[in-house]
A and B are shown apart, each in its own frame.
Chain A
Amino acid sequence: MLRKALANFLRDFGPARLIIFAFFLFLCIAAVLLRLDLAELLTSSLVRIGMWGVLILSMLPAIVAGIGPNFGVSLGILCGLLGGLISLEAAYRLEGTFTFSGGDLFFAAVLFSLPFAVLAGMGYGWLLNRVKGSEMMIATYVGFSMVSIMKLAWLFLPFTNPEMAWPIGRGVRVQVSLANRGIAHILNNFLSFKIGEVVIPTGLLLFFAICSFLMWLFMRSKTGIAMRAAGDNPRFATAAGINVNRSRIIGTTLSTVLGAVGILVYAQSYGFIQLYEGPMFMPFVAVAAILIGGASVKKATIAHVIIGAVLFLGIQVVAVPVANAFTSDWASMGEISRKIIQNGVILYALTQTGSGE
């Protein structure tokens, strides 16, 4: 009985997740044995989880609506970045007339990015409805090409704020600092407190929690239920009077919007808005994280988002100092292990698509 229960548990948990979990455990034990600064590791783990949380959450509506992990969430990220820049520009142009706090500017950035994200998401959803069956491939290349197109936009959009302009020539810089306007760490520092040496970034985690809760509620609304059915079995959904294409567009749009919000959360925590190549490979991190959390390309829950964030980002944080402790030659070991895990997990998940019923 016990053996059977164990076997069932192993099967449900999935071998990939198990290996990664074991690896994470190994890193944690190593960190303890090497007498690394655990408080610092925990602090930066919490920050990373909160920083990436919303971006990872953006995978959920896409998977549930049946388009699979949204490799094209860079589209949403670009909308978020645009919103951020508009917010900074507005602050510059209205200087003297109004003064804005960092919080005002952060939420203004979110608001500015929304219309772009909604429109882009709807168009992108429309596109994905035309390529059913190869969404992931198309999404990846939509992401890549939009990032490239927006590189031109960053050069030519008429922003005048000197904080973001290149010192010479025209266009926006590669990194725009958010420190001057007080946006940097606005969420991280909100209500943050210390337990011993560990800093809890309350606002950051709270924001992630609220987004997750709203998503949880949405999944239990009429529209959310329709989306779930449309993603799970389109033929069933059609027979149940559900508009499958509409549900998929809603899922894609939601994912794009969360991508936009997610990058702003990320940016405020990082302290900089990263343009040009910045958003190119970010979707892969989010995809890998939710897959590690136990999601498949067809099924995902909020729990997968949270478990994935903890495992994947936890490994990233702990791996670097552990590797460094062995030898300084392995300085890039943390980055390498992240890439191996990230791409390996995506590969593993993609090979699982055909199996099952």
Chain B
Amino acid sequence: MSGAVGGTLADDSLASAGQLRLTWLRFRRHKLAYVSLFIVVLFYLVAIFADFLAINDPHAVDARRGYLPPQAVHLFDANGFNPHVDGMTGRRDLKTFRQVYVPDPNKKLPVTLFARGYPYELFGLFETDRHLLGLVTPEPLDGIYLLGTDALGRDLFSRIMVATRISLSIGLASVTLSLILGILLGGVSGLYGGLVDLFLQRVIEVIRSIPTIPLWMGIAAALPNTWSVVRVYFAITVIISLIGWTELARLALPAMIISETSLSFLGLGLRPPAISWGILLQDAQNVQVLAGAPWLLLAAVPVVIVILAFNFLGDGLRDAADPYG
């Protein structure tokens, strides 16, 4: 055992190590899971500081900068260190009538850290307008669009940051709810056994043999249009966890995130102005749009990374939960 954990610990300290410490040591050996833990924590930090990391107001619409391609931040220019982005000038292509943008190397917009931008409330408590990155002198129409903009000229990077909040929290909330349901019903069926147990087992089998997405779609579509974003959010959470609790056998968080993403992608989950990854991907639904603005697909990247990280993390946790095995 000592050899397996690594030579860093004397045998004595390992022998007296508690369950928690053994679990942690074992978890650290699973490299991918260990890295994934950091990635997941990073994602939740992004969710917490989303507004700070966002550069432009994620809701600000301006058709004059629709489908702006991603911009790069240049750190140096001819005079040495001078972080800036090139201003973009748009014009209509007279053949296709599409708005095309060309970077204008003469129009340098200096970039700075901790810049002033749109006002927001940090943790819902402190009113501030500081952002990690921003222009030194913000002007309307100018801005840093690291990942380009969508049809309405909203900044994709900022939207992805803010979307993290809903997409990650809905997974967590659904899993918590499912867990409570699962423990409650599992406990009841274990405690009373016999007929109750048999009945609950059958109920689980029945739920699992129904294709879930049509069911979700049906229930989600029945939510009244007049509901506020928050109410829809809670309703979706409840729906996902009601159907999802039967699958507690494995780490269900990634499945819940995928569920929300697919539902919103179909336009049946959360609705704008809420921002989630599924809603961002909804804009990327058809090939014609993608051909002109392929950067819209970038909203898929965080989805894939976070689900991958959760899967590895789940793997590592499962292995680690039994440190004596």
- A and B assemble together: no
B residues touching A (Cβ–Cβ < 8 Å)?
A: none
